[in-house]
Amino acid sequence: MLEQALTCLVNDAAETRPLFAVRPGALAGLLDSLSPPQSRFLRQLNFRAEAQELMFLPGESGVAGAVLGLGDHTSPAAFGDLAYRLPEGAPWRLQPGDYDPAVATLGYCLGAYRYGALKAAKRAPAQLVAPGQQRSRSAAAATWMVRDLVNTPANLLGPEELAEFAVSLGRRSGACTETIAGDALTEAYPTVAAVGRGSSRAARVAFLRWSGSTAHAAAPLISLCGKGVCFDTGGYDIKPSSGMLRMKKDMGGAATVLGLARMIMEADLPVRLVVRVGCVENSISGSAMRPLDVIRTRKGITVEVGNTDAEGRLVLCDLLTDACDESPALLVDCATLTGAARVALGPDLPALFCNDDDWAETLLRHGREQHDPLWRLPLWRPYDRWLDTSIADVNNVSSKPHAGAITAALFLQRFVSPGTIWNHIDLYAWNDQTTPGHPEGGEAYGMRALFDAIAARAQGAGPDRTG
């Protein structure tokens, strides 16, 4: 199961129970509006409307309603742990209050997710009446899809299955699709082929091309590239066993760009869209790439393999070269690329690298507005020489133990044509523990920020740099 329906939402219901969401400053007014027994009940239990505080309102037949405290929280997380705290039965209907209904709907859905393909759920989420809210529904459905992809075990989601999923996603939106494998892959994307050479499950690149219904021939071309390493042993530079425990998530960048593509296509943005996903497994065998091998890339640049566990940048570099041949208005890549980014920023903050200050600021602003933050790190040119080698044009790893996320981004930048607006997002794609709206497991970090920024520019709300 790689997709689930948003069963936590219904458009309407004959019988519903009220759900009040209240901030401390509005609590007195709410208490005055409730029936005297319910008001006394909340007062006696010292309800303060603090964030995540939930109280049930008594009625003749049991639970008649609920009150959720918001504190000063304005993010989707304020509603992110309701779906399994509210009892099942009649659906719940949010009452008007000091909150954004779109944010509430999104937060409710994000918290309702569970990966259920291989184990029966203990219970279904309580249902929320949420008519309309199409953008929130689309964002939630795309997030669930990304999470399902990342959570699926690698034996069930290999390069072939990931490519097939990407193609099916494109086809249902009317995109032209293609999968490149075998000799054609070696010719067109030699670095993807090199990474996948050690696995019995053949590498491939999934490709889809789509245009919005109102996109003209000169509409902005948005190009997305995703790292789809379905499992990463590290190759001959093998990871310790503890380092492999989450490596089914190493295709999180591919999942994220597929989720972003889904949102763009569902919103029918007036853009042209091209998606390239490198689907591959980094394994060990007699045919696997070795340390100090030299690979000639699509761009003609030769790369010395300083470390076989730095394979993600090899998967991406040929995709970026191919994308730049079409002169996109915007080039985006997403990848679970470096542990160094996690050391610097932790699991919740994706690292943003960008060669255009205006676009970087736009992305950061939309990330804040969508409660999907990014944090910019520099493309610090002096570190570029750390990738020098006497054997080839460039090494795939730095000669220094520092700034690993930066040097990885600098490696990728070598494959981006001058003048192309490009951003690279180094993300974790995983929640180490459950918090409101973020169940433990796969996650779609940065996706809503990217979509909102692209939508704003495509619809003329931002600078003309991608027009």
Block residue for tokens 């676009």 = 359
User: Residue 329 and residue 338: Cα distance in Å, rounded?
Assistant: 27
Residues annotated catalytic, as ranges: 239, 313
Domain count, the chain: 2
Q: Flag whether 134 is in a domain.
A: no
| 129, 156, 184 - which closes a domain | 129
Tell me, yes or no, whether 166 and 122 share the same domain.
Answer: no
Tell me, yes or no, whether 172 and 23 share the same domain.
Answer: no
The CATH number of residue 219's host domain is 3.40.630.10
Tell me, yes or no, whether 309 and 415 share the same domain.
Answer: yes
Residue 237: what residue type?
D
The CATH number of residue 112's host domain is 3.40.220.10
Q: Flag whether 451 is in a domain.
A: yes
Tell me, yes or no, whether 22 and 124 share the same domain.
Answer: yes
| 96, 129, 162 - which closes a domain | 129
> What DSSP state is assigned to residue 180?
E
Domain that holds residue 69: 9-129
User: DSSP letter string over 347-394?
Assistant: SSS-EEEES-HHHHHHHHHHHHHTT---EE----GGGGGGG--SSSSE
Q: Flag whether 184 is in a domain.
A: yes
Starting at the earlier edge strand, list the strands of the sheet with 204-211. 176-181, 204-211, 272-282, 221-232, 330-335, 422-426, 351-354, 375-376
Tell me, yes or no, whether 156 and 205 share the same domain.
Answer: yes
Tell me, yes or no, whether 63 and 144 share the same domain.
Answer: no
Q: Flag whether 149 is in a domain.
A: yes
Q: Flag whether 195 is in a domain.
A: yes
Structure token digits, residue 112: 């309702």
Tell me, yes or no, whether 62 and 173 share the same domain.
Answer: no
Tell me, yes or no, whether 328 and 414 share the same domain.
Answer: yes
User: Residue 186 and residue 197: Cα distance in Å, rounded?
Assistant: 10
Q: What pLDDT score was predicted for residue 147?
A: 98
Write the CA distances from 355 to 168, 333, 449, integer angstroms: 33, 13, 18
Q: What pLDDT score was predicted for residue 465?
A: 36
Tell me, yes or no, whether 330 and 396 share the same domain.
Answer: yes
The model's pTM is 0.96
Tell me, yes or no, whether 461 and 327 share the same domain.
Answer: yes
pLDDT digits (tens, 9 = 90+) for 256-283: 999 999 999 999 999 999 999 999 999 9
**Residues in the chain with pLDDT < 50?**
1, 461-467
Q: What pLDDT score was predicted for residue 461?
A: 46
Tell me, yes or no, whether 170 and 120 share the same domain.
Answer: no
**Furthest-apart CA pair in the chain: how many Å?**
82
| 83, 110, 129 - which closes a domain | 129
Q: What pLDDT score was predicted for residue 459?
A: 84
Q: Flag whether 2 is in a domain.
A: no
Tell me, yes or no, whether 39 and 116 share the same domain.
Answer: yes
Crossing angle for the helix pair 447-458 and 252-266, nearest 10 degrees?
40
Q: What pLDDT score was predicted for residue 61?
A: 84
Is the separation of the CB atoms in 270 and 210 below 8 Å? no
Q: Flag whether 1 is in a domain.
A: no
Q: Flag whether 4 is in a domain.
A: no
